[in-house]
Structure 1
Amino acid sequence: MTQLISRLDDIAAPYDVLLCDLWGCLHNGKALYPEAVAALQRFRERGGAVVLLTNAPRTRHAVKKRLDAMGLPADAYDLIVASGDATQEAMLSGAAGRKLWHLGPGKDADLFEIIPEWLQDQPPIELVPLEEAEGIICTGPFDEFNDAPEDYRAQFLYAKTKGLKMLNANPDLVVDFGETRLICSGALAALYDEMGGEVLSFGKPHPPIYDFARRELAKIGARSESDAMLAIGDGVRTDIRGAQAEGIDAVFVTGGLETAHFGPDPDAPDAAALEAWLAAEDLHPRFAIGRLA
């Protein structure tokens, strides 16, 4: 049975590492949640390591730049690991060919411009029109405020006919940007998969992002065994299923994407509604919390 908690401090002692999601847990796309920031700072003060584990389809450099602009203190985390990092590694290794059609907004250009030193010996990736492509890299819709997956059906049919593989840089279906819900790369990848196209995904709940995080933890001398980690997230199909598959205990933040299921107060989820909903979803996070604090 999932234990409903009100503070991370109450259950954090057995864990050495936090894998903390960003959107819906640490911020809402526009502003940080001060209580969540303070919870991460307290975890680090007692000697723990914090990994900001995000399905952002950009590299950690772009994520850090955005977090810096939002005012996240440097003492709230140790590492940033993004779905974009794991996707970039596969892309540069030629997982979908060298000539790629980029489906996504220009803000994701760092995937092609900021190349880690250890990958700089790989042959370059050429971004080309769909008609010339050997594969697709999808970081989201071109216009995340107005486009829908169905807008891309014709292009996906053409790509599927050509046998193009899609690298999906963000398995999230949607994200809340303030009060606005936007579709993500995962929604486009789901349509391509439904149409019979081949999709490779690299963020939560898929193994590559966890493998990447473990390698980064090893570099700073932190533990990377599953029993040393605690995952925090509001995405049941990404954060929670991913942690479950990796054997990592999880804290489900109910006041994020799924808040409508648990009563009128996001800070105080209804325990009976929560338990029934988790059972119906066949999810078993060890803990749940209204909002990270």
Structure 2
Amino acid sequence: MTRIINSLSEISSNYDALFVDLWGCVHDGIKAIPSAVAALQDYRKSGGMVVLVTNSPRPRAGVVKQLAHFGVPSDAYDDLATSGDSARSAMYRGIVGQNVWHYGPVTDSRFFDPLEILENPLEITRVPLDEAEGIVCTGPFDSKSDPDSWRPELEKAKARGLKLLCANPDIVVDRGEVREWCAGAVAKMYTEMGGESLYFGKPHAPIYDLARRRLSKLDATITDDRILAIGDGILTDVKGGLDEGIDALFISGGLAAAETKTINQPNEDLLTAYLEKEKLDPPFTIGHLR
């Protein structure tokens, strides 16, 4: 059964590195969470390494810029791995073809920036749906839209047998007090309609492989049993970590705050019921990262 802790420092000495989710843990989509920033800074001062592992569809450089805008200082982390970079690598290897339909807001256009780490990347061209060989989904065109409005175009794509590359497996995020749909919701609908969706962020293996590569570039030889995954997504952050053989610290005050009645800490009975419903049992739980 999960152990509810009061601070990261209670268990941090057992780990040499952290794989930390961003949205709902380190920031709320608008601004940094001070207690989380302080906890990560203290952990790094003690010699630990922090790799931020996010399902953001943005390239790494874009997330670094976003973090600075939100007020997350650079000394709170060592490096980061994004679902966007993992998915971009697959796209430029041609996993959904050369001519792709971009399903997502124009603000995600940086997803299609050149990827210099690959040798001989495929030249990707964005085309209308009726000319596409595949779909690259970075999110709904409108994150607050009614999901039923997505169906007509997805039906057309399914009828053509197009594969959908999902750049962000998250279903929802909370931007401040507002809940918004993510690419994972589109991909889930497409799969339920009979289409094929391909995932590269949490809880799927490719992003953890990328996070480990980021860690190794820090001259760190750290085994999985010395890594702790931290996040508020029970089916992404927690499941992903556990599936990779990595311990997990569940942040109950993020996406599951209502279900667990978390203010400072979760209600123990409701937390137990929630974890039983999700069929997951992380080693540790805390209300908010601190």
Give the TM-score normalised by the residue count of structure 1. 0.96
Q: Is the 8 A contact 2:92 2:115 kept in 1?
A: no
Alignment of 1:247-266 (within 5 A): 247-263=245-261, 265-266=262-263
1:1-293 aligned within 5 A: 1-113=1-113, 115-119=114-118, 121-145=120-144, 147-263=145-261, 265-293=262-290
- The Cα shift of 1:254 comes to 0.5
Show CA shifts across 1:41-67 (max 9, x none).
011011111011000011111111110
Q: Which moved more, 1:216-225 or 1:51-60?
A: 216-225
List runs of 5+ in structure 2 lacking aligned partners: none
Q: Which amino acid aligns with 1:139?
A: T
Q: Secondary structure of the residue that 1:119 maps to in structure 2? A: coil
- Cα offset for 1:120? 5.8
Tell me how far apart the structure 1 counterparts of residues 9 and 221 of structure 2 sit (CA, whole Å). Answer: 20
Name the SS for the 2:12 alignment partner: coil
CA contact (8 A) 2:31 2:70 kept: yes
Quote the Cα distance in structure 2 between the aligned partners of 1:128 and 1:199. Answer: 19
Percent of counterpart pairs with the same letter?
Answer: 51
- In the aligned structure 1, how far is the partner of 2:86 from the partner of 2:228? 20
CA distance in 1 between counterparts of 2:3 and 2:250 reads: 10
SS of the residue corresponding to residue 215 of structure 1 reads helix
Q: Gaps (5+ residues) in structure 1? A: none
Query: What SS does the aligned partner of 2:27 have?
Result: coil
**Which amino acid counterpart does residue 126 of structure 2 have in structure 1?**
L
Compute the TM-score of the two structures, normalised by the length of structure 2.
Answer: 0.97
Tell me which stretches of 4 or more aligned residues in structure 1 moved more than 4 Å: none
* Mapped contact 2:88–2:115 kept (Cα < 8 A): no
- Residue 98 of structure 2 contacts residue 124 of structure 2 at CA under 8 Å; is this kept in 1? yes
Counterpart Cα distance in 1 of 2:96 and 2:168: 16
The 8 Å contact of residues 148 and 183 in structure 1, kept in 2 or not, is answered as no
What amino acid is aligned across from residue 137 of structure 1 in structure 2?
A: V
Find the aligned partners of 1:190 and 1:289 in 2 and give their Cα distance. 29
CA shift, 1:280, in A, is 2.4
Check the 8 A contact 2:162/2:196 in 1, yes or no.
yes
Structure 2: how far apart are the matches of 1:53 and 1:130? 31
The 3 A distance-change label for structure 1 pair 193 and 224 is farther
The range that moved more, 102-111 or 250-259, is 102-111
Preserved contact between residue 16 and residue 223 of structure 1 (Cα < 8 Å): no
